[in-house]
Amino acid sequence: MEPTAQEAPPHAEVGLTTTNVIALYRTMALTRALDRRIWELNREGRAPFVVSSQGHEGAQVASAWAVRRDADVVLPFYRDLGVVLALGMTPYEVLLAVFARKADPSSGGRQMPNHWGSRERGIISGSSAPASHLLHAAGLALASRLTSSHQVVFCYFGDGALAAGDFHESLNMAGMFGLPVVFIFENARELLPTTAVDDVAGLANRYGVAAVSVDGSDVFAVYGAARVAADRARRDEGPSLLDCRTFRQLEEGDPLLRLRAYLDEQGILPEPELGSLDDDIVIELNDATARAEAAVGPDPGDATARVWARPLLAQAQEAAPAAEGPPGTVIDALRQTQRELLAADERVVILGEDIGVRGGVFHATEGLYAEFGPTRVIDAPAGSIVGVSIGLALAGMRPIAEVQFADALHEACEQLVNEAARMHYRSDGDVSVPLVVRAPWGGGVHGGLSHSQAVEGFYAHVPGLKVVAPSTPADVAGLLRAAVDDPDPVLFLEHKRSYRLVSGPLPAEGWRVPIGVADVAREGTDCSVITYGMHRHVVLEAAAQLAREDGLSVEVLDLRTISPLDRDAIVGSAAKTGRALVVHEDNISFGVGAEVAAIIASDAFFDLDAPVRRLAMPDVPAMPFAPELENALMIGADEVIAAVRALCSE
């Protein structure tokens, strides 16, 4: 029925002009045509991978129309072809990824197609995980809140995210903190039910997220709801969720056909002109396909490039001289250094569980909440900490995430391993994640299986993630400052037993220890003992006793950085003494000791007078709780002395 003189047409009611509607339709038509073109290329054997967005164009393009270009941030998922085209990505750029060409702006051919990323368009690099990016959205929105930038974060997801913990954690975080984020759920659940929750909008409301269900094929309803949600966020009125009910099959409710009919009925773009528009799209796609397919592929040498935002060359760096300053413990060094970092740089924030008024389970942040307030020292739900901190880092902040125990890192393994460590590589160097994750580790405190794990070998296996394990107050201070400076994610391991047991100078503000540089804690000529963490002090005690009782000169090399290892220092020490023993608390199999031994065997074999030996914990899950059991596994000075004597007698 034609609108009366008093009635505005549906598009005008939601603030769209006829020009807007034509552009919106063209983007939807382009999305559909490009989707079909990629399918054709796949069937012809020219494109190895395709994910369809057909049926989602209305929800995608209409919601993206509410995004402020050059201001807001968007996290699409791998079906969101319409979203990225609406934000300005071209068919040529999309097809460069389809053909895995060097010029692919999202990843340079590193990722499969549909894993979008574009710094200039505010599109955050995505992975294949169905829900991990939702926590990044919450972190980006938290950064917007903390910096008062009024930037709105748009986050898209599909059915597969609903049963993931990150989905619930992100809604909880957004609701708790009233974050300026708009979650857009492309709901095609009739094809793939993934949860018993039928009312997703109702669930979001219970988390404190304003949510509505809309017909995802009605572009005006979707745009209107998205604009309302974005305006709410800009007014700092909290998060929203749009449940856009759509489908992945071309049915009677096809959003493209609905809008096409509307344009004809309203006289905005009659059918003959629509046909001309379709012809123009075919010409555009033909040109884009030919150019993208003819583009050059990546250089094979690029396969090992972009692993780090800041590659480390240990031989080009110098170890810091001995620190001077008033005495203090490791926990004193942590508090003092974090206080100085917060005071010196407004980008630094600390997230953790119970780190505010309580000051953390080990009191490493004690007093910081009172001094800097809840916007700099942020109590956050445990499961959200690392994922949200990644979002903060993507926004240009310098988050320090405290995980109560290193054992809990495994809960955040997806975020650390598949997201933080791989973003620089998968984005072809476009994105860096300057994130520090602090984690107390190790045994000797009767923490049992869930509070005593040594995790360094596990996470050192991950390229793109730097792992440090300082053992003195000075190294804690210097490496923590270096880690916050670093554009790469850094796992900062603190041995729990050292917190109040180990004392030393607290260096002046500004003291830094370079990541990737080992420390010769004691010079020696007869044998090298290579270690890190709490065992630096155990080995030094053993070395002093061996000098007194046996006349042995034992060199003690503290690795300090587990990944990347200081190969020059390891090889140099082993070659100097001719004998090497690696001591660590982690399991003996597949651990840091195995890697160190392999380096020595490879690069210092002809300098050795005896085989490389390892002294480490047997292959048990972690330190058991009972003192008798834990003590049976602990490596003390007596065990080190026996191992050195045996090695030096070979």
- pLDDT, average across residues 117-121: 95
> What pLDDT does 248 receive?
74
Does residue 488 register a pLDDT over 70?
yes
Domain boundary (473, 505, 537) is at 505
Q: In percent, how much of the chain has pLDDT > 70?
A: 96
Q: If pLDDT is split at 50, 70 and 90, which confidence band does 7 have?
A: confident
Select from 492, 484, 441, 440 the least CA-distant residue to 466: 492
Lowest mean pLDDT among 60-64, 447-451, 528-532: 447-451
- pLDDT, average across residues 121-150: 96
Residue 631: inside a domain, yes or no?
yes
- pLDDT, average across residues 184-193: 77
Is 537 a catalytic site residue?
A: no
Residue 384: inside a domain, yes or no?
yes
- pLDDT, average across residues 469-493: 97
Model confidence over 292-347: pLDDT tens digits? 999 999 999 999 999 999 998 644 566 677 789 999 999 999 999 999 999 999 99
Residue 321: inside a domain, yes or no?
no
d(C-alpha 507, C-alpha 204), whole Å: 49
> What pLDDT does 1 receive?
46
Cβ burial, residue 2 (10 Å; 0-12/13-18/19+) = exposed
Which domain does 428 fall in, by range?
327-505
Does residue 511 register a pLDDT over 70?
yes
Model confidence over 90-118: pLDDT tens digits? 999 999 999 999 999 999 999 999 999 99
Residue 447: inside a domain, yes or no?
yes
> What pLDDT does 4 receive?
55
Q: What is the pTM of this model?
A: 0.96
Residue 493: its H or E element:
strand 490-495
For residues 226 and 351, membership in a common domain is answered with no
Q: What's the domain count of the chain?
A: 3
Q: If pLDDT is split at 50, 70 and 90, which confidence band does 247 have?
A: confident
For residues 259 and 287, membership in a common domain is answered with yes
Catalytic residue of the set 115, 168, 424, 451:
451
> What pLDDT does 436 receive?
98
> Integer distance in angstroms from the first to the last C-alpha of the chain?
97
The CA angle 268-273-279, to the nearest 5 degrees, is: 135
Q: Give me the numbers of helices (H) and strands (E) for the chain, helices first please.
A: 24, 19
pLDDT mean across residues, the chain = 95
> What pLDDT does 322 receive?
78
For residues 479 and 572, membership in a common domain is answered with no
Q: If pLDDT is split at 50, 70 and 90, which confidence band does 252 have?
A: low
Residue 46 CB neighbours (<10 A): 13
For residues 580 and 498, membership in a common domain is answered with no
- pLDDT, average across residues 531-556: 98
Residue 510: inside a domain, yes or no?
no
For residues 82 and 225, membership in a common domain is answered with yes
Domain boundary (465, 480, 505) is at 505
> What pLDDT does 209 receive?
98
Does residue 35 register a pLDDT over 80?
yes
> What pLDDT does 569 receive?
96
Does residue 251 register a pLDDT over 70?
no
- The domain that holds 527 is classified in CATH as 3.40.50.920
Judge whether 585 and 442 are in contact, CB under 8 Å. Answer: yes
Model confidence over 63-88: pLDDT tens digits? 999 999 989 999 999 999 999 999 99
Residue 5: inside a domain, yes or no?
no
For residues 53 and 149, membership in a common domain is answered with yes
Judge whether 96 and 260 are in contact, CB under 8 Å. Answer: no
Task: Name which residue leads in pLDDT, 5 or 465.
Answer: 465
> What pLDDT does 232 receive?
98
Model confidence over 598-643: pLDDT tens digits? 999 999 999 999 999 999 999 999 899 999 999 999 999 999 999 9
Residue 459: inside a domain, yes or no?
yes
Residue 307: inside a domain, yes or no?
no
Please identify which residue in the block is written with the tokens 């209107």: 224
For residues 501 and 545, membership in a common domain is answered with no
For residues 446 and 493, membership in a common domain is answered with yes
**Strands 503-505 and 153-157, bridge-based pairing:** unpaired
Does residue 477 register a pLDDT over 90?
yes
- The domain that holds 76 is classified in CATH as 3.40.50.970
d(C-alpha 470, C-alpha 455), whole Å: 14
> What pLDDT does 312 receive?
82
> What pLDDT does 14 receive?
96
For residues 227 and 331, membership in a common domain is answered with no
For residues 484 and 534, membership in a common domain is answered with no
Domain boundary (505, 531, 555) is at 505
Model confidence over 195-228: pLDDT tens digits? 777 899 999 999 999 999 999 999 999 999 999 9
The CA angle 604-609-611, to the nearest 5 degrees, is: 75
For residues 542 and 470, membership in a common domain is answered with no
Model confidence over 129-141: pLDDT tens digits? 999 999 999 999 9
For residues 38 and 65, membership in a common domain is answered with yes
